[in-house]
Amino acid sequence: MDNSFQYYIGGIRSNQPSGLVTIKTFLDKHKNPSDKITQLLDSIALASSKGDKKQKTVLKEKLPFVTPSVIVDKYRRYANIEKFTGLAQIDFDGVENASELKHYLFKTYPQMLAVYTSPSLKGVKGLIRIPICSSVEEYQDYYRALEEEFEGIYGFDPAPRNAVLPLFFSFDFFLLQRDNPTIWDKKKIKEKSFNEQYPLPPRPYNHLKSNDKNKRRAVNTIRKAINSIVDTPGHEQLRTACLILGSRVGAGYLDYQTAYNEVEYLIRTNGYLQKGVKGYITTSRWSIDEGILKPSYY
């Protein structure tokens, strides 16, 4: 397990790390945050108590954050992952017994490095020790086992399966931590879909074209399409864009996982789509899968 990970300043759209922070410093700041962070977190908690999700999102975007699971080179993207740290995020939202859940998780799972509640006292965050992985696929194998373990607990959010997902600074004066957590070593291997087992063959002439160029075209198109979604109908705009992306996957221009990861990242960093992330991700994955069945060639 690494002793430090990268932190980011500049809001959720920041994708270039500002530097490294040690685990000790990160956890200490949760128990003794600066006045500026405390005031911001108090405002977020107030917006949450009023049910003002829009204001909560705007304020939360101002918080610094870390990526505890990976170290990246220059940019916070899967393609830029240099190494894994041996940590994974655990997240529970909308729970009424946050303090009780915090103590339960820490006591029950010796793999937990730290567990703390959110400022609203409606969420619980944890950092759990896993083996240092060699690939995104291996990291997600471990995370699928974590999902299976925690999915029965109300409020569990599987979003941190995304290894580059931000973890915002918070505070909990009674944060629980241990110096030498054991290692979560359970895996759950993803079953291959029909299309992965029997991929559609690319047309022969595609080999004469630059796959890199066509991959960039497909990725740039989806980025432009999703970043332009600022109002309703969000699901309809997202579905159309992802059907097109899926057709490029079916044509062999980029792989399934790259497409899924790119779209999930774009959804999570889109100001409008953040209000219903889970639903939009479900829409995107269905649309990509449908698009794959109808390959479209440049």
> What percentage of the chain carries pLDDT values higher than 90?
44
CA distance 243 to 290: 7
Predicted TM-score (pTM) of this structure: 0.65
> Is the same domain home to 141 and 198?
no
Residue 240 lies in a domain: yes
Structure tokens at 131: 């083996």
Torsion over CA of 31, 16, 135 and 198, rounded to 10 degrees? 130
Domain interval for residue 159: 4-177
Q: Which helix (H) or strand (E) holds 124?
A: strand 124-129
Q: What is the model's pLDDT at position 207?
A: 39
> Is the same domain home to 8 and 145?
yes
Structure tokens at 294: 């109808």
Q: Which of 117, 145, 177 is the last residue of a domain?
A: 177
Residue 232 lies in a domain: yes
> Is the same domain home to 70 and 120?
yes
Question: 90: which strand partners?
Answer: 126
Residue 73 lies in a domain: yes
> Is the same domain home to 153 and 252?
no
DSSP 3-state of 285 = helix
Q: What is the model's pLDDT at position 134?
A: 94
- pLDDT, block means (10 residues), the chain with 298 residues: 91 86 94 87 83 80 90 89 96 93 97 92 94 94 96 92 90 94 93 62 42 82 87 83 91 86 88 82 89 85
CA distance 292 to 139: 25
Q: pLDDT by residue (tens digit) across 87-104? A: 999 999 989 899 999 999
> Is the same domain home to 12 and 94?
yes
> Mean pLDDT over all residues of the chain?
87
Q: What is the model's pLDDT at position 111?
A: 98
Q: Which of 125, 142, 177 is the last residue of a domain?
A: 177
> Is the same domain home to 284 and 247?
yes
Number of domains in the chain: 2
Q: What is the model's pLDDT at position 132?
A: 97
Q: What is the model's pLDDT at position 2?
A: 85
Residue 93 lies in a domain: yes
> Is the same domain home to 120 and 46?
yes
Structure tokens at 2: 């690494």
Count of all residues that appear for the chain in the document = 298
> Is the same domain home to 53 and 168?
yes
> Is the same domain home to 18 and 125?
yes
> Is the same domain home to 62 and 208?
no
Q: Which helix (H) or strand (E) holds 260?
A: helix 256-268
Q: Which of 117, 149, 177 is the last residue of a domain?
A: 177
> Is the same domain home to 57 and 133?
yes
Cα 220 to the center of its chain, rounded Å: 20
